[in-house]
Structure 1
Amino acid sequence: MQEPFEHQASTTQFILDNPRVLITSDPGTGKTRSVLDAFSQRKTKKLLVLAPLSILAASWGDDCDKFQPSLTYSIAYARNRADAFKEDVDIVITNHDAVKWLLKNKHYLDAFDTVCIDEFTAFKNKDSQRSKAMAKLIDHFEYRIAMSGTPNSNTILDIWHPALLVDDGQRLGKRFYGFRGSVCNPQFNGFANVWVDKPEAQDMVAAAIKDINVRYTLEDCIDMPEQSINTMYVDLPKKILDQYNILAEDSVLYTKTGTVNAIHAGAKVKKLLQLCTGAVYDDHGSPIMIHDERYQLVMDLVQGRNHSLVAFNWRHEREKLTELSDKLGIKYDFIDGTTPAKKRKDIVDRMQAGQLKVVFAHPQSAGHGLTLTRATSVIWASPTYNAEHYQQFNRRIYRAGQTKKTEVIQIASRNTWEPDVYKKLQDKLGRMEDLLEILNNLNQLKETA
């Protein structure tokens, strides 16, 4: 078995030295192994892992088999949850929303003293059902670990509730509104007040959590090849651009096959972005196809590369891309919310073995845990508004095991809102990177103290 990297061993020791831990190391740095190694050394009772559904087997199960084969585990899906929790195993791996079921079946938790929340941003909304359920269950665990490589993808407020779950509010406070008032200012956007991070918010939070936080950047840990990010612009046909402008101005678009209404600003942005990608969806959820020019560009890029990962956001994108792949004789598969865990693992294995030229994937379904380092290109057929999904998806190819230069290609239509969406993504990532850089500097100071 491969020895852990130095940063993994250091993270393992940090977990052993601290009963409450936040791990904010970059995606791809091998956080899962550090948790498993620490648990194997300290094991008294069971470990509960809460993770995205897509990586229960593909990441946690595989890493258990690879790095801690002496540890036994069960994977609890909705269909077998009770049986999985009854098994005589060291670790139970289940999805985030299982906490709502556990709230009604608390007796299963008597066997556990350790919890690891993987991708803790799933619990950033204090008012969500899963967050409320987890808050009522957290006292069952003496040892608490929460980890994410994208801890505040939208605002500094995202980190408050995960931190509360870890340390009971000792560092960022027990009252959300008190925390919000200390790190944000209200700002009127023309419709209502929104809360904007104060300039010093990142430093305040980093200083508050530094004693329970461990962070390593991918580049600090591993000699990573270079990754470039480029935007390729396409021009919408005049007829389509005219329709785009009509929808932008009037919020109504009449086509040969139906009528599209966008009754408020959020819906309008969504419809306009859909229109850029070739279709809009009617009130019944059916796509009204308008044009498909950009998909040929995506496939030209795929054909010019050995192995690629293509992000799509809408069902019609997946259908057009797979249709073109069939016509061109390109070996492909796709991952979205309909892909079963077993097939997802098979797709990853086939890509890593070089049997697939491209994997088409929805960012939310393939944005965590999966290693696709055989690919060297990520192609965004259309932008996502979610900065966490954007960064995590790009990290599927830019992670430990990658030996070649990689590229991220963003496709955007000129004279539309698509370039603005990519810019907003970078703005959000800039704020997140500010906090991560501060945490990294504080971590280095701890090591040299």
Structure 2
Amino acid sequence: MKYRPHDYQEYASEKIIELPETGLFLDMGLGKTVTTLTAIDELMFDRFEVSRVLVIAPKRVAEDTWTTETEKWDHLQHLKISRVLGTQKDRIEALQTEADIYVINRENVVWLVEQYRKDWPFDMVVVDELSSFKSNKAKRFKALKRVRPLIKRFVGLTGTPTPNGLLDLWPQMYLIDRGERLGKTISSYRDRYFYPGKSNGHVVYTYELKTGAGDAIQNRIADICISMKAGDYLKMPELTVNDIPVRLSGPEMATYKELEREKLMEVDGLQITALTAATVYNKLLQMANGSVYSDMGDPVEIHQRKLEALEEILDTANGQPVLIFYNYRHDYDQLMRKFKKYDPQTLKGQSDIRSWNDGRIQLLLAQPASMGHGLNLQAGGHIIVWYGLNWSLELYQQANARLYRQGQKKGVIIHRLITLGTVDEDVIQRLENKDATQESLMQSLKARIKRIKEEAR
């Protein structure tokens, strides 16, 4: 296929070529991969400025997206890509293969750094979904930081650089410019732009932006970071979000309320942390979906109302492909059993992605965390169903963008199954408000505990 870039893609490619360190904060669907590959091609074969490129990406993206993009576009088909995936033996063989670009999943970054250490062979590194390096305490961040001085060119790609707030930005920017703009340490960054929020003695749980700090941070990084929103550059397909209320019977709601109260009372009076809130809400979301794991690890069924609502959606889809997002293994097992006649499939590799895009899969089941980044599935369908909702705004947006993106020919419909009177309603409010902070999660849990205690009086 002949590449006819949008103006913004030409601009972004030129910036990668011009700047040795670049952050492309491009919205989902704006074509970050082909934009970056075009720049790599020129740097490698026209300007002779780089010789060996490493791409670090989520596993699914590493398996498929970068290879598919080089095969898709005429001007990139000469690029040789080696996928550093699989067993250690497979990865070593891939590294020994002559290629232009080596693609590895982010889980193996630590292994790769240990493999080479000071003999680091890649003069250009591209991190696809840089937001997965947002924790300065993560091993993958520390490993990449160690070899960063040996990297001549660095490109960070993401559509969501600050999924939980601007504190997430420092580790990503450090990898891009080695601390030149936002400071050499996370503590100096915090001291300059934030003040302590909620704390207990010397332990600070949250940090708040100082007045004007947001604009100051943006100004500091503006010379090397390009931020673009899809709505400003593309004519996006029509989007319809359809919230479908799921009503429980009296006995079912009583069972849910009893189990919910038990879970909430287990943490009542304790210090509520982000981890505590996430753990409790995971249990509550399971119950809203219809089942919950017992202490023995077995699923206990509460209701089948979401399965019934989903059955109606599939009936009215009239054979059109449907992408269903689920969160828990027991949900997946129920979906596979209930809708066996639709021959439900999951994506295990490139052949499955092609089957979906060719219209050969009627019902696709996907876990949002495994589908969040980079996969182009818009050719295969336009109907999404959120069987189980997710607290992560980033995962929610990224998952929807698998179908709602450039190249989609039909209006996209997103069905969200919401069990009334349950934690599903809290999640919807959080997603609608685009509130992705851990603080909001903790406050939401505290409010639910307070409400449950008041109802019990």
Query: So what's the TM-score if we normalise by structure 2?
Result: 0.85
1:246 maps to 258
Backbone CA RMSD of aligned residues: 2.3
Structure 2, unpaired ranges of 5+: 45-49, 266-274, 438-457
Q: Superposed, which structure 2 residues align to 1:130-279 within 5 Å?
A: 130-188=140-198, 193-198=205-210, 200-251=212-263, 265-279=277-291
Q: Per the alignment, do residues 266 and 38 of structure 1 end up closer, same or farther by CA in structure 2, a change over 3 Å counting?
A: closer
Q: Per the alignment, do residues 217 and 266 of structure 1 end up closer, same or farther by CA in structure 2, a change over 3 Å counting?
A: closer
1:398: Cα distance to partner?
Answer: 1.0
Q: Per the alignment, do residues 150 and 265 of structure 1 end up closer, same or farther by CA in structure 2, a change over 3 Å counting?
A: closer
Q: Per the alignment, do residues 110 and 182 of structure 1 end up closer, same or farther by CA in structure 2, a change over 3 Å counting?
A: closer
Aligned AA (2:136): K
8 A contact 1:72–1:90 mirrored in 2:
yes
Equivalent residue for 2:327, pick from 289, 308, 313? 313
2:60 maps to 54
Aligned AA (2:124): T
8 A contact 1:25–1:217 mirrored in 2:
yes
8 A contact 1:12–1:34 mirrored in 2:
yes
3-state secondary structure, aligned to 2:370:
coil
1:3 aligned to 2:3? yes
State how many pairs are aligned.
Answer: 413
Q: Per the alignment, do residues 61 and 371 of structure 1 end up closer, same or farther by CA in structure 2, a change over 3 Å counting?
A: same
Equivalent residue for 2:72, pick from 66, 77, 80? 66
1:20: Cα distance to partner?
Answer: 0.4
Q: Per the alignment, do residues 199 and 325 of structure 1 end up closer, same or farther by CA in structure 2, a change over 3 Å counting?
A: farther
Equivalent residue for 2:314, pick from 286, 292, 302? 302
Q: Per the alignment, do residues 54 and 204 of structure 1 end up closer, same or farther by CA in structure 2, a change over 3 Å counting?
A: same
2:450 maps to none
1:27: Cα distance to partner?
Answer: 1.1
1:94 aligned to 2:104? yes
Q: Per the alignment, do residues 178 and 264 of structure 1 end up closer, same or farther by CA in structure 2, a change over 3 Å counting?
A: closer
Bigger mean CA offset, 212-221 vs 116-125? 212-221
In the alignment, the residues of structure 1 paired with residue 52 and residue 262 of structure 2 have an alpha-carbon distance, to the nearest angstrom, of 58
In the alignment, the residues of structure 2 paired with residue 123 and residue 430 of structure 1 have an alpha-carbon distance, to the nearest angstrom, of 17
1:204: Cα distance to partner?
Answer: 2.5
In the alignment, the residues of structure 2 paired with residue 226 and residue 309 of structure 1 have an alpha-carbon distance, to the nearest angstrom, of 17
In the alignment, the residues of structure 2 paired with residue 297 and residue 198 of structure 1 have an alpha-carbon distance, to the nearest angstrom, of 46
Bigger mean CA offset, 151-160 vs 119-128? 151-160
1:38 aligned to 2:39? yes
In the alignment, the residues of structure 2 paired with residue 418 and residue 99 of structure 1 have an alpha-carbon distance, to the nearest angstrom, of 36
Deviation string, structure 1 residues 51-86 (Cα, Å, up to 9, x no partner): 000111320111122231111111011411111111
Q: Per the alignment, do residues 12 and 267 of structure 1 end up closer, same or farther by CA in structure 2, a change over 3 Å counting?
A: closer
Structure 1, unpaired ranges of 5+: 254-262, 432-449
Deviation string, structure 1 residues 404-433 (Cα, Å, up to 9, x no partner): 1112222111111211112223334689xx
8 A contact 2:30–2:406 mirrored in 1:
yes
1:349 aligned to 2:357? no
1:439 maps to none
Aligned AA (2:98): D
In the alignment, the residues of structure 2 paired with residue 22 and residue 4 of structure 1 have an alpha-carbon distance, to the nearest angstrom, of 23
In the alignment, the residues of structure 2 paired with residue 162 and residue 70 of structure 1 have an alpha-carbon distance, to the nearest angstrom, of 31
Q: Superposed, which structure 2 residues align to 1:415-426 within 5 Å?
A: 415-426=421-432
Identity over aligned pairs, percent: 27
In the alignment, the residues of structure 2 paired with residue 174 and residue 240 of structure 1 have an alpha-carbon distance, to the nearest angstrom, of 55
1:404 aligned to 2:410? yes
Bigger mean CA offset, 385-394 vs 304-313? 304-313
Q: Per the alignment, do residues 418 and 182 of structure 1 end up closer, same or farther by CA in structure 2, a change over 3 Å counting?
A: farther
In the alignment, the residues of structure 2 paired with residue 371 and residue 303 of structure 1 have an alpha-carbon distance, to the nearest angstrom, of 26
In the alignment, the residues of structure 2 paired with residue 409 and residue 83 of structure 1 have an alpha-carbon distance, to the nearest angstrom, of 44
1:352: Cα distance to partner?
Answer: 1.4
